[in-house]
Homo-oligomer: A and B are copies of this chain.
Amino acid sequence: MRGYTFYERVSRAFHDYSSLSKLIVISTVGGGSLIAYSEANASSDAYSVAPPEMGIKKKKVVVLGTGWAGTSFLKNLNNPSYDVQVISPRNYFAFTPLLPSVTCGTVEARSIVEPVRNIVRKKNVDICFWEAECFKIDAENKKVYCRSSQNTNLNGKEEFCMDYDYLVIAMGARANTFNTPGVEENCNFLKEVEDAQRIRRNVIESFEKASLPNLSDEERKRILHFVIVGGGPTGVEFAAELHDFVDEDLFKLYPKVKDSVKITLLEAADHILNMFDKRITAFAEEKFSRDGIDVKLGSMVVKVTDKEIFTKVRGNGETSSMPYGMVVWSTGIAPHAIIKDFMKQVGQTNRRALATDEWLRVEGSDSIYALGDCATVNQRRVMEDIAAIFSKADKDNSGTLTVKEFQEVIKDICERYPQVELYLKNKKMGDFGDLLKEAKGDVAQDAVELNIEEFKKALSEVDSQMKNLPATAQVAAQQGKYLAKCFNRMEEAEKNPEGPLRFRGTGRHRFQPFRYQHLGQFAPLGGEQTAAQLPWDWVSIGRSSQWLWYSVYTSKLVSWRTRALVVSDWTRRFIFGRDSSGI
C-alpha cells in the first residue's frame, strides 16, 4: 500500500466525482460568457423501474449503430431487465451538427466525439459494446451477423453472430449520389468524422498544390475552385465555413494565390435552404453573393470526372462543364446496402428507407425497431381506417355518429392520427365539431349526426397533412429517447396499455405513438451570422442567432468533456485563428 499525496487525491477526486469537474468546467465556460444550459438528465427520469427478480432471463436487445438515434436510445434506457448488445463500426458517438466546423478546423474532430463505452459505462443497465459492422440481419431466426471492421489478422474469428429478442436498427444512411457517374470516385462526402478530416486536409493541400511554381494561371484557378453540390443546411454551412477559413486565415498565409480562389454552390432546386423560411433563404443567397460565393440555382450535376464537373440547367436542359479542384457532395441520403438487403427480406422493395409504424416498429416485424436516418415513419392514413373508426365510434351501432359518440373518440383519433390535429390547426378550426359542421352545413352542433359517407367526406382531406419527418439529428434523438422510454415501461404497458384505442382490433395500443416535436433549426452562414428558424415560425438572423447557436450546441453536446473542448476550440479560433497544418 502506498499513501496518496495531495496531488493524487485531487486528481482522483476529479476522476471519481464528475460533478466536481463539471463545476470546474462551468466556471471555465462561464468565463467565455456563454449561456450554457443543460438538458435534464435522463437518469432522473420518472420512468424508472424496479430491478427484475433474480433468475429471470433478461431480454436481449441488440442495437445496431451509435449515431444520434442509437446513442439517445442507450442514454435513456434505464430498465435493468434488458441485456443490451451494441454493435457499431465506430466506438464513438459523433456530434454531427458540428461536422462542417470540423472541415475547416473551427472545431477539432476529437472535440465532437465521445466513446460509446464512456456513455454507457455508468448506467444501471447491462450494456456491452462491440466494434463491428453488421453485414446481415436474419429476421426469421432473430440473429444478426457481424464482422470487425478492422484489419484484424484473426483468420475468420473476427466474424460473430448475435441472437436478439429485440433488434433496434439505427445505422444511419449513406450519402446519396443518385447514381451520378464519377461521384463516388471523385467527390468528398460529409457524413462521418473521417470525411470532415479528409476535407480539411484536402483544402490545405489544394492551397499547397496551387502554390507550386510550374503551374499556369488556369491550372491554379482549377485547383482552387471548390465546388459544393447541394444547397441544404450541410452544404450551405460548409460553403460558409470554407469561405471564412479562406478569407480569415488562408489568404494571410497564401497571399500569392488569393485571386485564384473560387467557391461555387450548386443547387438543383430554385433556392438554397429551401426547407427554411423564405426570409432565411433570401438572406443566405444575398450574403453568399456579397461574400463572392457563386450560387448556381437550378443546376443539376450529371457527371464528374477527375478534373471537371458537368451540370445541366434544369429549365432548358443545357449542359456545361467547369474545371474544379475539390467537390463536396451533400445532396441527401440513401440507405446502406445492408438496409436495402433487409428491406427486400421484409418486402419493402420500393422505399427510400425502412418503413416503420408510428411506434417505430419495422412494418411486418414485431421485434425489430428502426429509427433515425435509416428509417421512415409510415404514418397511417385516416382514410385507410375510416370504416373501422366509424364502427368503433358508433357505439350503439345506429349507423350514424352523434356528436357525443364522436367526442368520446376524438382524443384517440387525434393521438392515433396526428394529421387530424394538424389539419384542424391549419384550417384554423377550434375543434372537431367545426369539422363536422363544415361537412354537414350550418346545423346546431348538438344536432349533428353523420352517416359513414358524411364522416368520410368530413375527414377526406386530413391525410393531405401527412409529412415525412426530415432526416435530422433532432428527429433521430427524439426517436431514440422515445423508444428507450417505451422499453423502460414495456412490461408495465403490457398490463396497463397507455396508448390510443385500437380502431382495428380490441383494446388499446401499448404506447402513445411517436410524435416529433420540432425545436427549430439553425443555418450558420459564416462571418458570425446564423439564421435560426424556431418553433411557431419565429425567424432570427444575425449575430444574436450565432450566440444562440453557440449556446444550444454547447448544451446539446453529449458530455462535459466535449463541451469544454468545443468551447475551448471556439476560443482558440477567436484568438489564434484556424490552423493550416496539413495533418
What is the chain B residue whose CB lies nearest that of A120? Answer: B253
Chain A residues within CB distance 8 Å of chain B = 5, 7, 11, 14-15, 21, 24-25, 90-92, 108-110, 113-115, 117-118, 121, 129-132, 148, 150, 152-154, 157-160, 193-194, 197, 204-205, 208-209, 211-215, 219, 248, 252-254, 306-307, 528, 543, 560-561, 564-565, 568, 572, 574-577, 579-583
Shortest beta-carbon distance from A258 to chain B in Å: 13
User: Is the CB–CB distance between A212 and B108 below 8 Å?
Assistant: no
19 A-B contact pairs sorted by A residue (CB < 8 Å): A5-B543, A11-B574, A24-B575, A90-B582, A91-B582, A92-B582, A92-B583, A109-B583, A115-B253, A117-B253, A131-B211, A152-B209, A153-B306, A154-B212, A154-B219, A157-B214, A157-B219, A197-B583, A561-B575
Whether A110 lies near B579 (C-beta < 8 A) is: yes
Known A121-B252, A157-B214, A528-B7; contact A581-B130, beta-carbon cutoff 8 A: no
Given contacts A90-B582, A92-B583, A193-B583, 7 further A-B contacts (CB under 8 A): A90-B581, A117-B254, A129-B211, A131-B208, A157-B215, A160-B214, A564-B575
Cα–Cα, bound, A132→B150 (Å): 32
Specify which chain B residues have a CB less than 8 angstroms from the CB of A154 in the assembled complex. Answer: 209, 212, 215, 219
Report how far A579 CA is from B92 CA in the complex, Å. 10
> Could you tell me if B148 and A581 are in contact, using CB atoms closer than 8 angstroms?
no
Number of copies: 2
Whether B91 lies near A150 (C-beta < 8 A) is no
CA distance A307 to B14 in the complex (A): 39
Distance to closest chain B CB from A336 (angstroms):
19
Q: Could you say which of A25, A117, A307, A577 has the most chain B C-beta atoms within 10 Å of its C-beta?
A: A117
A317 to chain B, nearest CB (A): 30
Residue of A11, A110, A121, A543 ringed by the most chain B CB atoms within 10 A: A110
Residues of B within 8 A of A157 (CB): 212, 214-215, 219
* Cross-chain contact B7 with A543 (CB below 8 angstroms): yes
Query: Nearest Cβ in chain B — how far from A296, in angstroms?
Result: 24
**B-chain residues with CB within 8 Å of residue A7 when the two chains form the complex:** 528, 543
A115 is contacted by which of B92, B212, B213, B581 (Cβ under 8 Å)? B581
Asked whether, in the complex, the Cβ of A581 is within 8 Å of the Cβ of B110, the reply is yes
Q: Would you call A14 and B91 a contact (CB within 8 A)?
A: no
Which residues of B are found within 8 Å of A205, using beta-carbon distances?
131, 150
* A208 and B91 form a contact (CB under 8 A): yes
| Bound complex: CA A306 to CA B121 (Å) | 33
**A346 CB to nearest B CB, Å:** 27
Give chain B nearest CB distance to A530 CB in angstroms: 14
Write out the residue numbers on chain B whose beta carbons fall within 8 Å of the beta carbon of A113: 579, 581, 583
**Residues of B contacting A158 in the complex (Cβ-Cβ under 8 angstroms):** 209, 212, 214
Query: In the complex, what distance in Å separates the CA atom of A25 from the CA atom of B153?
Result: 47
Chain B, Cβ-Cβ closest to A92 = B581
Neighbour of A118 across the interface among B148, B528, B572, B580, CB < 8 A: B580
A213 and B152 CA atoms in complex are apart in Å by: 13
A580 touches B211 (CB 8 A): no
Partner of A576, one of B21, B252, B576: B21
Name the distance in Å between A167's Cβ and chain B's nearest Cβ.
Answer: 17
CB within 8 Å for A159 and B214 given contacts A209-B154, A576-B564? yes
How far apart are the CA atoms of A423 and B219 in the complex, in Å?
62
Q: CA separation between A153 and B214, bound complex, in Å?
A: 14
Distance in angstroms between the alpha carbons of A254 and B121 in the assembled complex: 10
Query: A253-B115, A568-B568 are contacts. A21–B575 as well, Cβ < 8 Å?
Result: yes
- Look across to chain B and name the residue whose beta carbon is closest to the beta carbon of A575: B21
4 nearest interchain CB pairs? Answer: A92-B581, A131-B208, A117-B253, A561-B576
Instruction: Kindly list chain B residues whose C-beta atoms are within 8 Å of the C-beta of A14.
Output: 574-575
Looking at the complex, which one of B108, B213, B543 makes contact with A160 (CB distance below 8 Å)? B213
Q: Are A118 and B253 in contact (CB under 8 A)?
A: yes
Give A15's nearest chain B residue, CB to CB.
B577
